[in-house]
Structures are given as C-alpha cells and as structure tokens.
Amino acid sequence: MKKSIKLIALFVVFQLSALSAFAQDKAKQIEQLLDKYNEYGQFNGSALVAENGKVIFKKGFGSANMEWNIPNQPDTKFRLGSISKQFTALLIVKLAEEGKLKLDVPITTYLPDYPKENGDKITTHHLLTHTSGIPNYTDSPNFFKDKARNPYTPEAFVKTFSSLPLEFTPGEKFSYSNSGYFLLGYIIEKITGKTYEQYLQEVIFTPLKMVNSGYDHSDVILKNRAAGYEKDGKRYVNAPYLDMSIPYAAGSLYSTVEDLYLWDQALYTNKLLSAKSMESLFKPYIKAWGDESYGYGWSVKEVNNGDKDKIKIIEHGGGINGFNTIISRIPTDKILVVLLNNTGGTILGEMNNSIRNILYDQPYSQPKKSLALDLLDVFTTKGTTAGLETYKKLKNDPTYIIKENDMNRVGYQLLQDGKKKEAIEIFKINTEAFPKSGNVYDSLGEAYLADGDKKLAIANYKKSVELDPSNEGGKKALEELLKK
C-alpha cells in the first residue's frame, strides 16, 4: 500500500514538473516574440500572460521614460484608453443589480436636463452597446484642436454633443461612440451622488486591492507612470496633451498589467456582481466589427482553434494619446493576455493572436518589419519615383510586411507635410494591399480631394462606403462633394 502511495506521489510530481516545463517553454516563446516586436519598434510597453488562471509570463519592454532611459516594468502604470469602458459598464450593471437603475428606460429618467427629443428614445442599454446613435465626440471636426486640451465638468461636456442630431434610430445598429460611455459616467454621478472616480474606487479598485489603478490626472505626481510617445516616421515624439476630463468614463483610467490580472481573476467570482449580472457583461448583444459582437464594455467573438472546438474570446482594446492597449480573456481555459504600449498605435491585435497560438500550441507568424516607415523616408527625401522604386524592391522581401494602419499613418503624415502626390501613392499601395478595406479607400479619397481631384475623390469615397456601410464620415464627405 505504501508503495502505491509513493508511486502516485511520484506520478503527481512528474505531471506538475511536466506542466511547469511546458509553461516555461511557452513563456520563452512569448518573450522571444515580444523581443522581436520590440526590436522592430512595434512594441514598447509591458506584457502579462496567464494560463489556467496562473501568470506564466510578465515583463517590461523598452522605455517608460525615454528622456531618462527608465525601463518599462510589470508595475509600470499606463493610460488604458477604452479598456476603461469595461469598468464603467460593471458600475452601471452594479447599480442595476441594486435596483437603483433600469437598463431599458429612457436616459432622461436619470438625466432630466438631457434634451428629451433624443433622450426619451435612448436607454442605458443603448449606451452600453454603442447603439444609441449619438455622434462620437472624438470624431467631431477639429476635436483635438478645439476641445481636447481644455478641462470640462461632465455636465458641461455633455452639452457639447447632447443636442446633435442622432445618426440613426437608437437600437437600429452598432456605431462605436465615446459619447455614450461619457454619458454613463454622468449617470453614475447623478444616481450615486459621488464622482465617477470615487464610485469606481469604492466599488472596484479598493475591494480588489488594485492599488496601482485609478483615474488619471495630469497634475498628480504618480509613481511609475509611463510617459506617452508617438511615432513621427522612425523617431519618437512626446504625445500631444489631453485633458483627462475629456475621456472621462470612456477612457480616463490607468493601470498596470499586474492590476489587470487581479481584475481578470475577480471576473471569475461573485465579489463584484452576482453570477447573472456578471454574465450580462459578456453577452453578444449586437454585431460590431467583422466577426465580433459587443457586450457591455467588451467585444465578444468565437474563433477556430486548430482541432479543438471554437473558443470564446472576450476582449477590448484601447487607444489614447501616446498609448495603445489590449486585454484579452478566454474564460474556458482561464487565459489572459494583457499588452500595454506607450508609443502610440501599434499592432497589439497581431501580437495577441500570436501569443494565443503559442498557448494553444498552434503555428504563429513571426514579426516582420513594417515597410511603411522605410517608404516614408524615401518618399519624403527623394520623391514619388524613388519611393515607388523602393516599394517594388522591398515588397517581396520576406523580412518586410505591408501593415494597413502603418501605411495609413505614413500617408497622412505626408499629406500634413504638403506632399500630396506622395501621399496619394502611399494610399494607392494600401488599396492594392487591402482591397476589401473601406478605410484605405476613404483615405485615398481624402488625399485626392486635398489634391483637387474631385472626380477621383468621389470614386474612392463611393468605394469606401460600398465596402464599409458604417463609414458615416465617408458618407458625409461624399454627400458634400456631390452637392458641388
């Protein structure tokens, strides 16, 4: 009998050792992957990966502060951008669970001063699911120039968009709107009599001991806060200032990868909400982007995973001046991937997909250099002919790849620098590389319009709207052009 017990014990130890070695191997692959992205200037931040609820990898890459050469660490604090929305959504569902709010009544029930013409048609559910039809305030013309640097009270800022006509009948379709989540924060304040920040701290951060998370204030001296940077070609510049009263409940929070692990783990429990209320956060209420649906502050999708059945992924990204973030969860296997980056927009989705494939022992793509940055140098210094020759030379080089967002940024940079012909060529390359993307045709239409070619501007805006019927900006531009 004693011999059998010893054998069982040895078998358990062996299994645990094998699992530990397997996790270490995955961690090594993840580190090599992110090291290469860092080397290519595509990731500068902190990462954490958990499997079966246990952290198997966490590390900082690049600099939290480039002026002082201070490295990013797992406890570095980053602005989260739209990852903030999932916290706002939980607070609203908490109030509903307590009977202090109903999700299916007009928002004028809680905001009596909101214009009734629109407010009587919009429910809190519409705000949570981006189906309200309220125009997204960050898309308004000259938003960053006219408003982004100025402090506002929630009440005052709501008035900047509350009287605008709705873009569609509430509930009719999905259209991502920061305005909706701003309003949710204001509703929280009206119902609780506390600031959004106070209620957030009281309900989520303090109970979960998320001591390195909070509402970001530019004037507060915050230990271990990462500085935000953006790319100007191949060099970095300090991100433009943004008053943090503007993103508010739609994007004002900061956190660390370690604190977001605490958040993830709490979502498997009933510490914050009942099981039924927690489940309501992750329901796919409406089709959003591509194969993704939207819940309450989270996107939801199912993907094939090798020979296994489809897996459900619950995630959200964020982007705010100088920062780009993603949190991705697979509840069935208690997997968590958190990537927080402090050098502006980058391809975190691609990195997240590769990390997921590593975790499931599936093939994954190795990082490649972005062709856009090399093209920017040549188009800027030597013009279109040299730029196109460089493109022909490098487009089949296996170490390079054409990335849609990078090409788009380069095109707009050339446009801002007055290099209209060069910008057009970059956008044309992007349409050839991504012929099914409405966004690339929208950009090309804008470049042709800037260059005075109305006919080609119209053609490309039409193509953009055809490919992406939700492109309201393209529709407006087309409408204006056809009037003239």
pLDDT at 369 over 80: yes
**pLDDT value of residue 3:** 56
Element (H, E) at 457: helix 454-467
pLDDT at 154 over 90: yes
Give me the pLDDT at residue 235, please. 87
Q: How is the chain split into domains, by residue range? A: 81-224+232-359, 369-483
Residue-by-residue DSSP string for 38-105: HHTTS--EEEEEEETTEEEEEEE-SEEETTTTEEP-TT-BEE-GGGHHHHHHHHHHHHHHTTS--TTS
Provide the pLDDT confidence category of residue 7 given band limits of 50, 70 and 90: low
How confident is the model over 219-257, as pLDDT tens digits?
999 999 999 999 887 789 999 999 999 999 999 999 999
**Is the distance from CB of 77 to CB of 212 less than 8 angstroms?**
yes
Taking the CA atoms of the chain, what radius of gyration do you get in angstroms? 24
**pLDDT > 50? residue 261:** yes
**Which residues lie closer than 8 Å to 62 by C-beta, 6 or more apart?**
38, 43, 44, 45, 71, 72, 343
* Rounded Cα–Cα distance for residues 93 and 63 (Å): 37
For residue 483 the two structure tokens come to: 């009037």
Rounded mean pLDDT, 20-33: 88
Task: State the residue for tokens 């013009």.
Answer: 383
Mean pLDDT of 78-95: 98
Please tell me the CATH code under which domain 81-224+232-359 is placed: 3.40.710.10
361: left (phi over 0), alpha (psi -120 to 50) or beta: left
Q: How confident is the model at residue 147 (pLDDT cuts 50, 70, 90)?
A: confident
**More confidently predicted of 226 and 145:** 226
Q: What is the pLDDT of residues 173-193, one digit of tens each?
A: 999 999 999 999 999 999 999
Residue 176: predicted pLDDT: 96
Specify the pLDDT at position 8. Answer: 57
Q: What is the mean pLDDT of the segment spanning 366-380?
A: 91
Q: Which whole number is the average pLDDT over 388-404? A: 92
pLDDT at 430 over 80: yes
The pLDDT of residue 20: 60
Can you say whether residue 459 is alpha, beta or left, with left for phi > 0 and alpha for psi between -120 and 50 degrees?
Answer: alpha
Nearest of 308, 338, 284 to residue 59 by alpha carbon = 338
Instruction: Quickly state the pLDDT bin for 342 (edges 50, 70, 90).
Output: very high
pLDDT at 306 > cutoff 90: no
Terminal CA-CA length for the chain: 92
- The mean of the pLDDT values for the chain is 93
Mean pLDDT of 373-382: 91
| pLDDT bucket at 18, cuts 50 / 70 / 90 | very low
User: 392 is written with which tokens?
Assistant: 């022909």
Q: What is the pLDDT of residues 292-304, one digit of tens each?
A: 999 999 999 999 8
Q: For the residues 127-151, what does the mean pLDDT come to?
A: 92
CATH 3.30.413.10 fits 369-483, yes or no: no
DSSP state of 220: S
Amino acid at 70: I
- pLDDT tens-place string over residues 310-328: 899 999 999 999 999 999 9
Rounded average pLDDT over 338-349: 95
**Average pLDDT, stretch 433-454?**
95
pLDDT per residue as tens digits for the range 30-66: 999 999 999 999 999 999 999 999 999 999 999 999 9
Predicted pLDDT at 383: 93
Q: State the number of CA atoms in the 13 A half-sphere of 40 facing the CB.
A: 21
Least confident of 95-104, 138-147, 185-194: 138-147
| Selection from 260, 263, 273, 213 nearest residue 77 by Cα | 213
For residue 283, what pLDDT is reported? Answer: 97
Q: Determine the average pLDDT of the residues in 20-30.
A: 85
**Percent of the chain topping pLDDT 90:** 83
Q: How far apart are CA 29 and CA 343, in angstroms?
A: 23
- pLDDT at position 466 over 90: yes
Residue 417, pLDDT > 50, answer yes
From residue 304, give the alpha-carbon distance in Å to each of 58, 202, 334, 356, 471.
26, 39, 17, 12, 29
pLDDT for res 231? 87
Give residue 373's pLDDT band: very low, low, confident or very high (50, 70, 90): confident
Task: Judge whether 81-224+232-359 and 369-483 match in fold.
Answer: no
Half-sphere exposure of 87 (CA within 13 A, CB side): 35
